[in-house]
A and B are shown apart, each in its own frame.
Chain A
Amino acid sequence: MNFKTAFAALALLAGLAAPGMAQDHSTPHIEKESWSFAGIFGTYDQNQLQRGFQVFREVCSSCHGARLVSFRNLAEEGGPAFSDEQVKALAAEYEIADASADGGVRKGVAADRWPSPFATEQDARDANGGALPPDFSVLAKARGITDAFPFWIFNYFTGYSEGGPDYIHALLNGYHEEVPETAPHNADGTPFQLPEGKYYNDYFPGHAIGMAPPLSDEQIAYEVAEGETEVPMTLEQYSHDVAAYMMWMAEPHLAGRKQTGFVVLLFLVGFAALMYMTKRRIWQGIEH
C-alpha cells in the first residue's frame, strides 16, 4: 500500500468520524420519519405547525410550559405565521402574573412569554405524581436518536438534525397498556415491574414514564378549510404535527438560517474557485 494513499484515506475517515464519536448508545432503535424541515432545502409546513400548535395548546400545555417562546413568535414568518390580530386575541385569552399590575394579574399581550401551567417546580411535581413535565422551549433539541456505526457518519453530510422530533414521535407512539413481553428483564432476571402510577413506553429511558398516553385517535378536532383535503385525526398524525411544532419552538429561525446558509455556501464555493484561479495565475511558471 502506498503511504500517501493510506494516509489520505485515514485522514478522510478521521475527519468524518471524529465528531460523531461523542454519541451515546442508550436508546433503542428509532425510525427516522420524513419531515418537511429536514435537509438543506427544508422549511416548516405552516399548516402542520398550526395543527401542532392546536395539539400543544389543547393537550400538552396543561402540564408543559414553553417559557422561552413569546406569543409574538407565533406570528413570525417561517413559523405557524398566524396573523397579528390572531396572536393578539390569543394572548388576551391568557392571564399573565405581573407584580406591577392591579391585582397582580393582567391580560396577555403579544410580547409576553408563553405562561407556564405551574407557578413553581414543586407545584408541577405535586400535580403530576412527583414527576416534572419538562419545559417544551428547547425540548426537541434536547432529545435525539442514535445511529449505529457507520450510519451516523452520513448524518454529517445530510445535516441530519431531526433526532428530537423523531424521538418525540416515537415516544408518543410507544405506549403499551400492559408491560409487553419485549420488556427488558431486571439485572437479577426477574420480570420488568412497572412502578405505581407509571406507564410503559418502548422509547423512554428505563421504560417507566410518568406521563399517561397524552394523545389518542379522534382526540383533537382539526378544522378543514373549504377546498382543502381532510387531515386524518389519528395519533400518528397528531404526534407528527406536535413534534414538528416542538421543533419550531426549539428552532424558530430554521428557515432563515438555511436560506442564509445557502447563499453563504454558494458564495464560498464560487469565491474559492476564483481564489484558486488567482493563486494558479500568481504561481504560474514557478516550480514548486
Chain B
Amino acid sequence: MSEHSTYTPGSGIEKWLDERLPIIRFSKEHLMDFPTPKNLNYFWTFGAILVMCLGIQIVTGIILAMHYTPNIGMAFDSVEHIRRDVNGGRMLQSFHAVGASMFFAAIYIHIFRGMYFGSYKAPREILWILGVLIFVLMMATAFMGYVLPWGQMSGWAATVITNIFAAIPFIGTPLLELLRGGFSVGNPTLNRFFSLHYLLPFVIAAVVALHIWALHVPGNNNPIGVDVKDSRDTLPFHPYYTMKDAFGMVVFLIPFAWFAFFAPDILGHPDNYIQFNSQVTPAHIVPEWYFLPFYAILRAIDFSLLFIDSKLLGVIFFGGSIVILFFLPWLDTSKVRSGNFRPMFKWFYLLFVINFIALTYLGAQPADGIYVVLSKICTAYYFIHFIVVLPLLSRIEKPRPLPTSISESVLSKSHA
C-alpha cells in the first residue's frame, strides 16, 4: 500500500529504522494516511469501539486474574473478595462483567451493519469470514468467562453447554469428558476454562489483526456500496476518522458507565450469586442475553428426522445457524452491496432483524406452549432468509440506479 505513503524519514535514526523495520512508515500508512471513504456513517465507528472493548476486557481481565482463584471451593468467594477487599476491585469486576455485554452489543451492531451494507461481498469475503471467526471465538471466551464466578448459572451453563457436544456421534462422549476434564462439571472443568479464558482473548486479538489487514487491502466499504474511484472520494484516516471514532467511543462509554456504576447486576442473573451446587437445578437455566437467539434455535428442535435424534438435530441447527454466516458472501449474489439501493432486500433485512430479536426473546422463555411453536417459526425463517430469500432476491430484484461515485453521491445529498 506504499502508493498512499507520504512518509519520508525525517531524521537519521528514522532513516536507519526505515531500512530495517519500517514500523513508522507502516503506522503512517495504515493509521494516518489510509484513504477512507468520506461518506461513512456512525455505524462504521463500531469497529474502533470493538477494539476498545477488547482492550478493556483484556486489561481488566489480567488484573482480575491476579486476585481470582480457580478452585471450586474458593472461586465464588474470591470474586466476592475482589468486589469487597481489592482496591478498585468492585469497579474492575463490574467493568469486566458489564464489558462482556457491551462487547456483544457492539459486535451485533457491527455484524448487522455489515449485513445491511453488503460489506461481506467481493472483495471482502475473507474480511467477513475472519469477522465471523472472531464472533465465534468471542462466544467461546464469554461462555468460559461466565463459568469462572462459579455461581449457579455458571455451573449449570457449563453443564448444559458441554452436554451439547455429547450429541455428536462416536466422538461425543470422549469429547464431553475432555471438555469437562471428568464425568461431570467440577474442578478440572473450572481450571481448563480459566486457562482457555485467559488464552482466547489473545487469539481474538491476533484474528483482529488479520481482520484489519484484510480490511486494509480493499479498503472500507461505505453506505452506498460503490467502490472508491479516486482521491476525491476519500479522506485520510487521520485526523478525520480517528476523531470520529474517538467521539463514537466516548459516546459508547456512556451507557457502559451507566451499567457498570449504577446497575452492575442488571444484565446478569440473581441465581449467579448462589454458589454452584450440582445437586440443585435452578428453576430456569438461562444463558446470558447475547446467547439467547442461538439458544432458542437449539431448543426449538424437539423432533427427530430420519435416523437423527432431536438432540443431535438441535445441535446441527445450533451449529448451522453460526456456520451459515461463513457462507453469506456466496448466498447473496446480488452485485449491489448497499441495502439502500435494494428495494426488496431492505424489507427482508428488517424482517430478519425482527426475527433475530424474536429469537432472543424466545430464548429466555420457558420451552413450552406457544413459545415452542414460535421458536420453530423463527428458527425456520432464520435459515430461510439465508438459503432461500437471499439467493432468490439476487435474481428477481431490480436494484435502484447506483450513483457513479462517492463524491457524486455526497454532493447530490448536500444540495438536495
The stretch from A192-200, A212-220, A262-270 touching chain B is: A262-270
Among B244, B247, B265, contact of A272 (Cβ-Cβ < 8 Å): B247
Mark each residue of chain A from 35 to 50: 1 if its CB lies under 8 Å from any CB of chain B, else 0. 0000010000000000
Which residues of chain B from 1 to 26 have any CB-CB distance to chain A below 8 Å in the complex?
Answer: none
Q: Does B38 contact A (CB under 8 A)?
A: yes
Mark each residue of chain B from 209 to 238: 1 if its CB lies under 8 Å from any CB of chain A, else 0. 000000000000000000000000001000
Q: Does B283 contact A (CB under 8 A)?
A: yes
- A143: which B residues are within 8 A, CB to CB? 270
Q: In the docked arrangement, what's the CA distance between A268 and B254, Å?
A: 6
Among B39, B262, B270, B354, contact of A261 (Cβ-Cβ < 8 Å): B262
B254 and A265 contacting across the interface, CB-CB below 8 Å: yes
Q: Which residue of B lies closest to A260 (CB)?
A: B261
Q: Does A234 contact B (CB under 8 A)?
A: no
Task: Report, as a range, how many residues of chain A touch the other chain.
Answer: 35 or more
Among B39, B250, B261, B366, contact of A257 (Cβ-Cβ < 8 Å): B261
B361 and A288 contacting across the interface, CB-CB below 8 Å: no
- B262: which A residues are within 8 A, CB to CB? 40, 159, 161, 258, 261
Among A10, A25, A161, contact of B263 (Cβ-Cβ < 8 Å): A161
B274 and A142 contacting across the interface, CB-CB below 8 Å: yes
B284 and A264 contacting across the interface, CB-CB below 8 Å: no
B80 and A138 contacting across the interface, CB-CB below 8 Å: yes
- A275: which B residues are within 8 A, CB to CB? 243, 246-247, 250
- A7: which B residues are within 8 A, CB to CB? 350, 353
Q: Does B105 contact A (CB under 8 A)?
A: yes
A257 and B251 contacting across the interface, CB-CB below 8 Å: no
- A88: which B residues are within 8 A, CB to CB? none
> With A257-B261, A272-B247 known to touch, is A21 a contact of B267 (CB < 8 Å)?
no
Among B80, B250, B265, B269, contact of A161 (Cβ-Cβ < 8 Å): B265
Q: Does A222 contact B (CB under 8 A)?
A: no
Q: Does A6 contact B (CB under 8 A)?
A: yes
Q: Does A224 contact B (CB under 8 A)?
A: no
B363 and A21 contacting across the interface, CB-CB below 8 Å: yes
- A141: which B residues are within 8 A, CB to CB? 265, 270, 273
Q: In the docked arrangement, what's the CA distance between A146 and B34, Å?
A: 50
Q: In the docked arrangement, what's the CA distance between A262 and B258, Å?
A: 9
Q: Does B90 contact A (CB under 8 A)?
A: yes
Mark each residue of chain A from 239 to 259: 1 if its CB lies under 8 Å from any CB of chain B, else 0. 000000000001011000110
- A40: which B residues are within 8 A, CB to CB? 262
Q: Does B179 contact A (CB under 8 A)?
A: no
Q: In the docked arrangement, what's the CA distance between A26 and B365, Å?
A: 11
The stretch from A54-62, A90-98, A182-190, A279-287 touching chain B is: A279-287
Min CB–CB distance A251 → chain B (angstroms)? 9
The stretch from A11-19, A102-110, A169-177 touching chain B is: A11-19
Mark each residue of chain A from 127 to 155: 1 if its CB lies under 8 Å from any CB of chain B, else 0. 00000001001110111100000000001
Q: In the docked arrangement, what's the CA distance between A283 and B105, Å?
A: 28
- A18: which B residues are within 8 A, CB to CB? 105, 289, 292, 357, 360
Among B80, B240, B353, contact of A286 (Cβ-Cβ < 8 Å): B240
A272 and B361 contacting across the interface, CB-CB below 8 Å: no
Among B77, B80, B246, B292, contact of A22 (Cβ-Cβ < 8 Å): B292
- A282: which B residues are within 8 A, CB to CB? 239-240, 243
Q: Which residue of B lies closest to A205 (CB)?
A: B283
Q: In the docked arrangement, what's the CA distance between A142 and B263, Å?
A: 15
Q: Which residue of A lies closest to B275 (CB)?
A: A135
Q: Which residue of A lies closest to B347 (CB)?
A: A3
- A23: which B residues are within 8 A, CB to CB? 364
Q: Which residue of A lies closest to B353 (CB)?
A: A10
- B261: which A residues are within 8 A, CB to CB? 257-258, 260-262, 264-265
B263 and A268 contacting across the interface, CB-CB below 8 Å: no
A10 and B266 contacting across the interface, CB-CB below 8 Å: no
Q: Point out which of A19, A67, A252, A278 has the most chain B C-beta atoms below 10 A from its C-beta.
A: A19
Min CB–CB distance B405 → chain A (angstroms)? 12
- B283: which A residues are within 8 A, CB to CB? 24, 26, 205
- A73: which B residues are within 8 A, CB to CB? 84
Q: In the docked arrangement, what's the CA distance between A40 and B262, Å?
A: 6
B257 and A264 contacting across the interface, CB-CB below 8 Å: yes
Q: In the docked arrangement, what's the CA distance between A278 and B291, Å?
A: 38
B266 and A156 contacting across the interface, CB-CB below 8 Å: yes
Q: Which residue of A lies closest to B235 (CB)?
A: A286
- B357: which A residues are within 8 A, CB to CB? 10, 13-14, 17-18
Q: Which residue of A lies closest to B354 (CB)?
A: A10
B410 and A287 contacting across the interface, CB-CB below 8 Å: yes
A144 and B105 contacting across the interface, CB-CB below 8 Å: no
- B404: which A residues are within 8 A, CB to CB? none
Min CB–CB distance A215 → chain B (angstroms)? 23
Among A6, A161, A264, A283, contact of B266 (Cβ-Cβ < 8 Å): A161
Among A22, A137, A139, A250, contact of B288 (Cβ-Cβ < 8 Å): A22
Q: Which residue of A lies closest to B77 (CB)?
A: A68
A156 and B263 contacting across the interface, CB-CB below 8 Å: yes
Q: Does B125 contact A (CB under 8 A)?
A: no
Min CB–CB distance B236 → chain A (angstroms)? 11
A26 and B284 contacting across the interface, CB-CB below 8 Å: yes
Q: In the docked arrangement, what's the CA distance between A73 and B253, Å?
A: 32
- Which B residues lie at the A interface, using CB under 8 A? 38-40, 77, 80-81, 83-84, 90-91, 94, 101, 105, 235, 239-240, 243-244, 246-247, 250-251, 253-254, 257-258, 260-267, 269-271, 273-274, 283-284, 286-289, 292, 346-347, 350, 353-354, 357, 360-361, 363-364, 366, 407, 410-411, 414
Please, could you name 30 A-B residue pairs with CB atoms under 8 Å apart, sorted by A?
A3-B346, A14-B357, A18-B360, A19-B266, A19-B289, A21-B292, A21-B363, A22-B287, A22-B292, A22-B364, A24-B283, A24-B286, A67-B77, A68-B77, A137-B80, A142-B273, A144-B270, A160-B263, A161-B265, A205-B283, A257-B91, A258-B261, A261-B258, A261-B262, A262-B261, A265-B254, A278-B247, A279-B247, A287-B410, A287-B411
- Nearest first, the 9 closest Cβ-Cβ pairs linking A and B are A261-B261, A142-B273, A159-B262, A21-B364, A159-B263, A144-B270, A24-B284, A275-B247, A138-B273
Known: A261-B257, A261-B260, A271-B250; 16 extra A-B contacts, CB below 8 A, are: A10-B354, A18-B289, A19-B101, A24-B284, A26-B284, A40-B262, A142-B271, A156-B266, A260-B91, A261-B262, A269-B254, A279-B244, A283-B243, A287-B410, A288-B40, A288-B410
